[in-house]
Amino acid sequence: VVDLGMPDRTVLTTCAYCGVGCSFKAELRGDQLVRMVPHKDGGANEGHSCVKGRFAFGYADHPDRQLSPMMRDSIDDEWRPVGWEEALTEVARRFSALRSEHGPGAIGGITSSRTTNEEVYAVQKMVRGAFGNNNVDTCARVCHSPTGYGLNQTFGTSAGTQTFSSVEHSDVIMVIGANPTDAHPVFASRMKRRLRAGAKLIVADPRRIDLVRSPHVEAEHHLPLQPGSNVALINAMAHTVVTEGLVDQEFLDARCEGQDEYLEFIRGPENAPEALEEVIGVDADRIRAAARLFATGGSSAIYYGLGVTEHSQGSTMVMGLANLAMLTGNVGREGVGVNPLRGQNNVQGSCDMGSFPHELPGYRHIGTESVREIYESLWGTTLDPDPGLRIPNMFDAAVDGTFRGLFVQGEDIAQSDPNTHHVEAALSALDCLVVQDLFLNETARFAHIFLPGTSFLEKDGTFTNAERRINRVRPTMPPRTGKHEWQVVAEIAARMGFAMNWERSADIMDEIAATTPTFAGVSFAHLDRVGSVQWPCNEAAPLGTPTMHVGSFVRGKGRLMKTVYVPTLERSTRRYPLILTTGRILSQYNVGAQTRRTANSSWHAEDVLEIHPHDAEDRGITDGALVEVASRVGTTRLHARISDRMPVGVVYTTFHHPESGANVVTTENSDWATNCPEYKVTAVQVAPALRA
């Protein structure tokens, strides 16, 4: 860390990394950021921070940063720097031409969970108002879309139930498919404090993550389930609760529906732990013991991550978690609930802001006439009532030639989305790809127009964290590019004949509040007064809502859903006998575009493949050896790390570096309800690489 001297001013803002949403005081000397100091009154972090939020901000003025728009006729040409006027006019001309020639359905946009609520709202408005369709999707498609579907079906809203501080009231904490120590470190510390004070821990994860055994914390139960067997596990736990008489019948009778059908289903012998233990890879006795602890241990809370959602049954599993919480009466008070740990800083917000092809802001279906009318009268246009294309459908349609133009804001789809070869084929087929980003990322290799984006130090807006907390992001300096991202979007829309009429970012939040009931009480002025609020924030709850579903569920009665276990199509075979699963490390962030451009990039210079000693020995692989990882869709190379954290037959890597390209091997399999990719289960073979 370089000491840049004493600061002369301070700006209160929000970390732009993970979904914990820590509040920081950015201390500046002139325009130079000297230090990030965690804010002791920050609602999510109370003065704590992790290494990324505190030190990994150097990317904001990294020399790779692009500050001017650029254009080229074809992706084989060199980039040509141009002014904003020329770039925006050309973007509008090309999208307008594609719209006229091929119809409005031929163009669309992708929003990011790294940008602000206001920037996301602007893109979905541009697509709906100027492009004339609902071909807008968020990168949350590839992470937490099953959370949106599953929690909406069961509880009536697409968000976690608790505030982070709720964990301080838990007696039993179940962590499934999440590695908070690496991915949500500040919340992990809070959780560990509670565990050290006596709460019991259940970890369900194929990998022996740090939380299983760390100083003064030891899980009561670690269930190292086979990747792809989540639904079998949750059904076996629910079966135990139901058949051993551990149901909170009073809660079920008073607050839930669908009881008879669900209970008959879950009692079935096919859901018994003894029937599923082979599939799950964990003894029935251990599954039963974990279920008993969850049901009888007091206030039990579930925290989960992408190890739940990124499966072919991701949505089913989210509903399974909700079922378990309802069966045991663990919803609607402190210390309990079903809590998605969101990866990026604004996953929750990017979903809230209507950047799904079937939903307007606030999760209201585009087919509902009364909701469309709100926007039609305010925007002075007619909205298409039919849902648009999801991201994977955009790729398929681009390859087919029916989808011709794409606007991508703050998301590196060429690196982060599965089956890289297919994504690259789709991007190469587009007539016009516009990328708005800080850097010339992997996706920009296929772009015709590049529009420079702003870092969190220049943004003026809000992020919404994993506990629905809307935090202010305040600029420490004007945009180094000359324009805010929402301004760029509004200017493209205006050139396509659709005026957005905003002068400041605060005007966008005012429009969101005027049209979205859960945000009705939110404004920049209100946030400046109270610090932050958790939605719903409206007349009934002016200071927000820390705990959801108190007394009744948002949908009235909670709905128990049948969760039939269907094995994934992705099975190990003689040719691909191992299962690859993926995750993150503490010092890197997603595709690494930011963290790799900070002083900490040397801490983890590459992605590595963790492999069990038996699997390594079978293949003649030594620690540190270069290995080839092959799946049915592609091959990549990584260095091996021999580790007994993994069970035999399962290997693990991260996806922070473009060179190793983990997504070259991940497949097109996806969640049945939402198309969230099945990143967590890929059948692979691993062998020593023949040449370095």
User: In the complex, which residues of this chain contact ligand SF4 (CB under 6 A)?
Assistant: 15, 17-18, 20-22, 45, 49-50, 52-53, 184-186
Closest by CA to 318, choosing from 341, 346, 336, is: 341
Closer by beta carbon to ligand SF4, 364 or else 596? 596
State the nearest-atom distance from the C-beta of 388 to ligand SF4, in Å: 31
Q: What is the dihedral of CA 486, 488, 493, 494, to 10 degrees?
A: 110
* Bridge-based pairing state of the strands 213-214 and 635-642: unpaired
* Distance in angstroms (rounded) separating the CA atoms of residues 448 and 50: 38
Phi, psi of 101 (to 5 degrees): -75, -40
Q: In sequence order, what are the residues at sequence separation of 6 or more whose Cβ sits closer than 8 angstroms to the Cβ of residue 599?
A: 1, 2, 55, 56, 58
Closer by beta carbon to ligand SF4, 427 or else 466? 466
State the nearest-atom distance from the C-beta of 505 to ligand SF4, in Å: 21
Strand ranges of the sheet holding 449-452, from the earlier edge strand across to the other edge = 80-81, 70-71, 449-452, 432-437, 405-409, 107-111, 136-138
Closer by beta carbon to ligand SF4, 15 or else 611? 15
* Distance in angstroms (rounded) separating the CA atoms of residues 673 and 1: 45
Closer by beta carbon to ligand SF4, 105 or else 185? 185
State the nearest-atom distance from the C-beta of 116 to ligand SF4, in Å: 15
State the nearest-atom distance from the C-beta of 589 to ligand SF4, in Å: 7
Of all residues in the shown chain, the one whose CB is closest to ligand SF4 is 53
Partnered with residue 638 across adjacent β-strands are: 627
Closer by beta carbon to ligand SF4, 230 or else 598? 598
Closer by beta carbon to ligand SF4, 50 or else 325? 50
Closer by beta carbon to ligand SF4, 450 or else 456? 456
State the nearest-atom distance from the C-beta of 476 to ligand SF4, in Å: 16
Mapping DSSP onto H, E and C, the string for 540-557 reads CECCCCCCCCCCCECCEC
State the nearest-atom distance from the C-beta of 600 to ligand SF4, in Å: 12
* Bridge-based pairing state of the strands 213-214 and 217-218: antiparallel
Closer by beta carbon to ligand SF4, 374 or else 585? 585
Closer by beta carbon to ligand SF4, 343 or else 521? 343
State the nearest-atom distance from the C-beta of 18 to ligand SF4, in Å: 3
Partnered with residue 582 across adjacent β-strands are: 653
State the nearest-atom distance from the C-beta of 42 to ligand SF4, in Å: 9
* Distance in angstroms (rounded) separating the CA atoms of residues 442 and 416: 9
Q: In sequence order, what are the residues at sequence separation of 6 or more whose Cβ sits closer than 8 angstroms to the Cβ of residue 474?
A: 11, 12, 13, 460
State the nearest-atom distance from the C-beta of 273 to ligand SF4, in Å: 35
Which amino acid is it at 336? V
Closer by beta carbon to ligand SF4, 185 or else 546? 185
State the nearest-atom distance from the C-beta of 112 to ligand SF4, in Å: 16
Q: Is 206 helix (H, G, I), strand (E, B) or coil?
A: coil
Task: Calculate the CA 482 to chain-centre distance.
Answer: 29
Closest by CA to 638, choosing from 622, 650, 630, 626, is: 626
Q: In the block, which residue shows the tokens 């575009």?
A: 593
Contact 467, 423 (CB under 8 A): no
